[in-house]
Structures are given as C-alpha cells and as structure tokens.
Amino acid sequence: MAKRVLNVGLIGGGRGAFIVNPHQKAIHMDGTRRVVCGALHEDPGVAMEEAGKWPYPIKGYPSYDEMIADQAGKPAGQRVDYVVIVTPNFVHFDPALKCIKAGIPVFCEKPLTITAKQAEALEAAVGKRKVPFGIAHTYLGHWSSWAARWIIRSGKLGAVRWADAYYLQGWLATRLETVGQMQASWRTNPKMAGASCCGGDIGSHAYMQLRFVTGLEVTSVRGIVETFLKGRQLDDHFTTYCELSNGGRALVRASQICIGHKNDLGLEVNCERGSLVWRQEEAEGFIVRLPGEPDRQYWRGELKGKDSFLGDLPDWVGAEPTIPSGHLEAFHDAYRRLHKSFEEDVRLYNDGRPFACDGSRYANVHDGVMHMRFIEAAVKSSKAGARPVKLKLS
Ligand SMILES: NC(=O)c1ccc[n+]([C@@H]2O[C@H](COP(=O)([O-])OP(=O)(O)OC[C@H]3O[C@@H](n4cnc5c(N)ncnc54)[C@H](O)[C@@H]3O)[C@@H](O)[C@H]2O)c1
C-alpha cells in the first residue's frame, strides 16, 4: 500500500531567507513528504504574503504560535507530521519547545539554541514527551560521511590518534553586517547568534563531523576565539585544541575570513594503521591512506565489490547511493538523506512504535546539547587565556 505523504510545516523561510531553499527541495525529493503550511516571517503581514507567494498552495500562518496551536488541535493524519525550524538561532528554542510540548516532531537548524542551558531544556522536554527531534547538521547526510563513520568505527584503521576537523569560509572577510546583509547581520549579533558567530555557525559542523565519524567525544577544549574585523561583535575565527575520549587529540577549527574558501569543511582522521581524508566540497568519496600503499580513493556507488581493506563492509553502506557514481550528489542530497532518515522515525512515532532517533543517521537533540556545550567551553577557555575547559558529557 502506498504510504501517506507526510505533512511538513515550516517556521521561518520567507523573504530572502537562505536555508529554507535546500530544505524545501530535500523535503520533496522522495515524493513521501511535502510542505503544507508555514509561519514564514516574524512580521505577520509578511508571513501571510510570503505564504501566498509559495510556488504551490500552502496554508500560511501569521505566527508560529498560531501555527503550532492550530496544527496541534487537528486529528492525527491531518496535522503536520513534523515541523522544520529555519529561523535565526535565537528563534529556535521557543518554537521547538512549543512543538515538543504539543507532541509535534521537530527538525531544527543548527546550532540548536543560543545557550547550552536552553539546549538542555529541550533535551529534557524531548525525553519527557518522547517525540522525534532532529538537527540539520547537513554534512552528516552525505553518503561518504556514513561510509567514513562505518570505516573509522569498525576499527579497521586502529584507534584514532589525531584528527583535524575544519570549516573555512571567506564570506565575512568584510563587514557585511554593516551593509544590511540579512544573514551576516544576525550571525554577528550575540543576542541573535549566541556566544560565538564563527564557532556556532560553522565550527559546530566541524565538531559534529568529528564526533559522528569517530564516535569519540571531545572531553576537554582549549580555545582561541578571535575577531579579526574591527568593530565586529562576535568572533570570525575559531580555533580549538581538543582532548578526545580515547586519549587522542584533535583540532576543531573554523574561519570566516579566509578569502577564497567557500564551504571548505573537511576531516582528516589519523589512526594507528592509516588515515582517512574527507572533504565536503568533494563529498562523492574519501581517501584511505595505508602505509606503503598507494592512496585508496573510494567513490560513492562503487563500494559494492569491496576489497582487501573494506572486507566485511555491510551491504547498507554500499547500497545506499541513489544515482550511479560519477553523477554527482551534493548538498541537497545530503539534506534529503537527513529528511528521509527523520521521516522513518516520524512514521514509527505516528504508529506508536519505538523509534531510534539515536544520532546514527542524523544529529539528535543530545548532539545539539553537545555542540552548544562545546561552543561555550571554547569561548570560556579563550577568555581564560586558552586554559583547558572540560565538557560535561552526559
Ligand atoms: N545546516 C546548514 O548547513 C545551515 C546553513 C545555513 C544556515 N543554517 C542555519 O539555519 C538557520 C537560518 O539561517 P538562514 O541563513 O537561512 O537565515 P536567514 O536570515 O536567511 O532566514 C531566516 C528566516 O527566519 C525568519 N524569521 C525570523 N524570525 C522569525 C519568527 N519569529 N517567525 C517566523 N520566521 C522568522 C526570517 O524572516 C527569515 O525568513 C540558522 O540557525 C542557521 O545557523 C544552517
């Protein structure tokens, strides 16, 4: 029997908004989800206008409060199956908490909130209400992230000794926030972005890529959080030296002032018997380096045959790709993989069955708590002259 198409609601995403666009595409990519309603802007009039301009009919709401209240009152099957929050960081906590309390699953943009305390409150609410909650750490959705995770966690390369997780950009190399650029304006405002601009915006991605692929926690962090552009309120350069839960070490670093770097997110994991190199700008594959051997370049869609290194690679890792190798997947496909995985948990939730939401396919609310603690620890350490700050892990 054909599945009922899931109803998705949006909070944020009107008038010049950025990240709603890839979400919208990814939501529709499988044909099993569709956007049905939205509270798209903070101004009620603009919110309704923007809903009216949506490429196909959706129900507009003047505010997310009205949307959540109205949707929560509808019978199961007719209300939204999940809500996607694509507002600036300071408008994540309140709508997320209200959705959770109404029993509506949430897929929220990162960073989860503007303080670790808010993130912990969301985690507690999710634990109490037992509702699926995902976080849009986009790059975890690349097939190559899943495969890299399997390889490192399988122990094939031995224990992790040293990792370098980085995210370099150049778009804030001038003070875009002073010329009214919407995305720069709120990202550099501590009331709207949180304790860190660069760390929260993109350092959080580097941190999550490290955790997701290695399965290790950052237990202690020494941070140097810097602002290169005079007059800017928050950091634009974020460097941390981290201790890992297995005794290994890592750099987690990010910059928004490196002209020429676009979305240069990468991860290099050096282990006892080899290393793995991954870059999101070439996310079709990754490289494994073994001593005394030519580098092994693995491609999405080409792992079915396995080899002497991959050995017992499970079928699901090889089988997941949707199009043949060489026809490139990219950012939208990564988002699609996250929505598809979240959809599976939402369907189980709708049926009253246990759902995983365990962070193995997409980031969950605990991952959000951890990235908020990491950002705050880095900022705290930096203010104290890069003194090590321990992270609370549970
Ligand atoms: N995962 C990723 O790769 C990625 C990439 C970019 C942005 N993000 C995250 O996505 C979020 C949004 O970023 P963006 O760049 O799209 O921002 P944006 O400024 O382009 O868009 C934000 C939208 O939220 C709306 N909004 C603000 N307050 C609202 C309210 N009270 N009710 C309804 N709508 C409201 C704005 O009108 C706008 O439409 C941020 O948390 C950001 O960190 C994630």
Whichever domain contains 259, its CATH number is 3.30.360.10
Residue 186 and residue 267 in one domain: yes
How far is the centre of ligand 1, averaged over its atoms, from the C-alpha of 51 (Å)?
16
**What token pair was written down for 325?**
């190798």
Q: Which phi and psi (to 5°) does residue 253 adopt? A: -140, 155
Nearest-atom number in ligand 1 for the CA of 14 is 39
Residue 233 and residue 155 in one domain: yes
Residue 209 and residue 271 in one domain: yes
Query: Quick check: helix, strand or coil at residue 38?
Result: strand
- What is the pLDDT averaged over residues 120-126? 98
pTM over the 0.95 mark: yes
pLDDT band at 187 (very low <50, low <70, confident <90, very high): very high
The per-residue pLDDT for 319 is 75
Q: Is residue 122 assigned to a domain? A: yes
pLDDT digits (tens, 9 = 90+) for 331-372: 999 999 999 999 999 999 999 999 999 999 999 999 999 999
Q: Is residue 390 assigned to a domain? A: no
Q: What is the SS3 string spanning 263-291?
A: CEEEEEEEECCCEEEEEHHHCCEEEEECC
Whether 24 is in the pocket of ligand 1, judged by its Cβ within 6 Å, is no
Whether 373 is in the pocket of ligand 1, judged by its Cβ within 6 Å, is no
Q: What is the span of the domain harbouring residue 191?
A: 142-324+372-383
Flag whether pLDDT at 311 surpasses 90. no
Residue 62 and residue 166 in one domain: no
Q: Evaluate whether 184 touches 170 at the Cβ level (below 8 Å).
A: no
Residue 148 and residue 134 in one domain: no
Tabulate helix, strand, coil % of the chain (nearest 5). 35, 20, 40
Tell which residue, 86, 95, 94, 110, has the closest CA to residue 196: 110
Q: How far is CA 308 from CA 42, 108, 137, 217, 291, in A?
A: 56, 40, 32, 30, 14
The per-residue pLDDT for 263 is 98
Strand partners, 265: 167
Give, using CA atoms, the residue closest to atom 18 of ligand 1: 17
How far is the centre of ligand 1, averaged over its atoms, from the C-alpha of 88 (Å)?
4
- What is the pLDDT averaged over residues 216-238? 98
Residue 246 and residue 135 in one domain: no
The percent of residues in the chain predicted with pLDDT above 70, rounded, is 99
Residue 164 and residue 267 in one domain: yes
CA separation for the pair 369, 359 (Å, rounded): 12
Whether 19 is in the pocket of ligand 1, judged by its Cβ within 6 Å, is yes
Residue 14 and residue 93 in one domain: yes
CA separation for the pair 288, 4 (Å, rounded): 42
* CATH at residue 117: 3.40.50.720
pLDDT digits (tens, 9 = 90+) for 52-111: 999 999 999 999 999 999 999 999 899 999 999 999 999 999 999 999 999 999 999 999
- What is the pLDDT averaged over residues 243-247? 98
Residue 227 and residue 89 in one domain: no
**Total Cβ atoms within 10 A of residue 15:** 14
Q: How far is CA 330 from CA 19, 29, 249, 326, 361, in A?
A: 15, 13, 30, 12, 17
The per-residue pLDDT for 48 is 98
Q: Is residue 111 assigned to a domain? A: yes
Strand partners, 218: 244
pLDDT band at 305 (very low <50, low <70, confident <90, very high): low
Q: What is the mean pLDDT of the chain?
A: 96
Give, using CA atoms, the residue closest to atom 28 of ligand 1: 42
Residue 146 and residue 128 in one domain: no
The per-residue pLDDT for 316 is 81
E-state strands within 18-76: 33-39, 59-60
Q: Is residue 393 assigned to a domain? A: no
- What is the pLDDT averaged over residues 44-48? 98
Q: Evaluate whether 280 touches 206 at the Cβ level (below 8 Å).
A: no
Q: Is residue 392 assigned to a domain? A: no
Count of structural domains, the chain: 2
pLDDT digits (tens, 9 = 90+) for 263-304: 999 999 999 999 999 999 999 999 999 999 999 999 998 886
Whether 41 is in the pocket of ligand 1, judged by its Cβ within 6 Å, is yes
Residue 315 and residue 339 in one domain: no
The per-residue pLDDT for 307 is 87
Window from 61-75, 141-155, 181-195, 306-320 with minimum mean pLDDT: 306-320
Whether 136 is in the pocket of ligand 1, judged by its Cβ within 6 Å, is yes
Q: Is residue 147 assigned to a domain? A: yes
Q: Which of the 8 DSSP states describes residue 114?
A: S
Q: Evaluate whether 344 touches 107 at the Cβ level (below 8 Å).
A: no
The per-residue pLDDT for 246 is 98
Residue 150 and residue 250 in one domain: yes
Q: Is residue 131 assigned to a domain? A: yes
Q: Is residue 35 assigned to a domain? A: yes
